[in-house]
Structure 1
């Protein structure tokens, strides 16, 4: 177990490092420069430009600038925004809260809708199973941006039940405003989780140990909890972990569609403005969340399945 955690943590560090390098190179090699954003169409004198470049560290070589940033990150400092001169940690705090709230809301919907519909299909063969299978097939074919457009048109514009833009005010308004974005983000993932849950539960229901339990007089909820869900859980938890981890990156499109002030909008504007520290910090947050959620999913699977603990040794 300890060796497994060390391997995964080392892999997480290497992944974050590679991600920061790739993001830095992509932003650095893209057209334009921070000076064009800072100075606009009427740049100041060459002396002022040189002073600004030196103050912001833009006179350093790309490699030295990256290594300087990496050293600051390792000491807990994400740097300073080139555009607003705010600490990057303060710059991304509020957008990160919006994105993480959206992902958490969508994750709850994925678990409830995906696992619930999958179990319903597995336990009710026939018309119910066929109906759920059809709906999940449609759900897995609907991208988040298409779902966002349909939800806005129907539930925000025509019915007026939810806001079409922004998060809303207050605690209730906040979560009310995040409902449609969370549903748009969760539809495709819920379909995938439902299909995996159905297949895993069906496999367990047809297994010998479940038949033996039935012969011993175990039935109903106890049979479902102890003999079906417990054994089907590892594969379901694995796919949930992968889908929820992918929501962090997928939230960018949904945030843009609903006008949420999350990391997605900040990332796009920062890329356009060549704000290197902000772009790199957001990349670290997204990749770090992906790695962390996958690690948590692996730990849950190990806790549920003794075979996984043997493999991890």
Structure 2
């Protein structure tokens, strides 16, 4: 039976290929989220440190520590703690209450989420904008001085740790030039955007090298294709060829790469928040790790896993919708 007959049979059987692919992708995303949540639950309990001792202090008696461990359920076996965690997750949609503050993890994360989401969104916009400009300049000036300079940029910056880049930007634009604040977030939307600009540039800095290199290579391949030669022979304006035809055909692989790298971008955002003293999810995560606040760590890991998987699924759907060849492969 040919491929066309197989697709026709599936469609007649009531299983359209598009919905079938979306269902499989959603199931795969759910499995990834469950695996990440389970792995984090067991890994954080392997790390040395007793939350009860950290809460009560080093001078606490053994009896008070044992009583607090019993109250928090830390004296149960790992399997019993895991079953309690799963039951709480599915019945309350939460990972429990914070061991340190006693507040619901969902409330703690919800209070810190707006700042972190704004920082991630701003970093994505800056990364895409800078990557587009640099890739277009490099591809349209192939083997010239500007192209060589832009090609050297990714090679130098790709191995720079994001926290080190943040410290350099603070010293340059915050301490020396006084263009941006060195830390914290001001009130109001304009104040938030102003305060988050330098951290967003720091986060975007880690994504720009790979995006520029990928988009430049894809644009050069498209520029050398036959249909571009035909468009040039038809005297279509260069600007129309570049932005309407070349970028549209070259952007899809870079879009897929950006979707894959979003997990690193979110992780970099959490680190940058600590560097710039931003009270977002990242600072909450590092504080919870130092105090062994298991429910908060599990909640942050769960929500980050959901965000990464959802964004990856959305990128796959967009790529599937934009490229007919991807539809046929699916």
TM-score calculated relative to the size of structure 2? 0.88
What is the distance in 1 between the residues matched to 2:227 and 2:190? 47
Matched, 1:291 2:315: no
Matched, 1:72 2:88: yes
1:203 to partner: Cα distance: 0.6
Matched, 1:20 2:37: yes
Q: Which of 7, 29, 50 matches 1:33? A: 50
Report the 3-state secondary structure (helix = DSSP H, G, I; strand = E; otherwise coil) of the residue aligned with 1:185.
helix
Which residue of structure 1 aligns with residue 73 of structure 2? 57
Q: Which of 130, 136, 140 matches 1:123? A: 140
Matched, 1:270 2:288: yes
Q: Which of 245, 249, 254 matches 1:227? A: 245
Report the 3-state secondary structure (helix = DSSP H, G, I; strand = E; otherwise coil) of the residue aligned with 1:120.
helix
Deviations 1:99-141 (A, max 9, x none): 2221111100110001221012112232222222223333323
Q: Which of 173, 197, 211 matches 2:215? A: 197
Deviations 1:251-286 (A, max 9, x none): 222112111112222112212222111010011122
Q: Which of 11, 22, 27 matches 1:10? A: 27
8 Å Cα contact 1:301/1:308 also seen in 2: yes
8 Å Cα contact 2:320/2:326 also seen in 1: yes
Matched, 1:94 2:111: yes
Report the 3-state secondary structure (helix = DSSP H, G, I; strand = E; otherwise coil) of the residue aligned with 2:206.
helix
Which residue of structure 2 aligns with residue 160 of structure 1? 178
- Structure 1 stretches of at least 4 aligned residues deviating more than 6 Å after TM superposition: none
Deviations 1:121-178 (A, max 9, x none): 1122322222222233333233212211110111000011111111222221211111
**CA spacing shift, 1:100–1:185, aligned 2, 3 Å:** same
Which residue of structure 1 aligns with residue 100 of structure 2? 83
What is the distance in 2 between the residues matched to 1:206 and 1:17? 45
**Worse-superposed segment, 35-44 or 299-308:** 35-44
1:96 to partner: Cα distance: 2.4
What does residue range 247-266 of structure 1 map to in structure 2 within 5 Å? 247-266=265-284
1:21 to partner: Cα distance: 1.9
Matched, 1:114 2:128: no
What is the distance in 2 between the residues matched to 1:49 and 1:238? 50
**Worse-superposed segment, 57-66 or 170-179:** 57-66
8 Å Cα contact 1:209/1:227 also seen in 2: no
8 Å Cα contact 2:94/2:299 also seen in 1: no
TM-score calculated relative to the size of structure 1? 0.93
Gapped regions of structure 2 (runs ≥ 5): 1-17
What is the distance in 2 between the residues matched to 1:16 and 1:243? 17
**Worse-superposed segment, 195-204 or 59-68:** 59-68
Which residue of structure 1 aligns with residue 15 of structure 2? none
8 Å Cα contact 2:53/2:65 also seen in 1: no
Aligned residues: 311
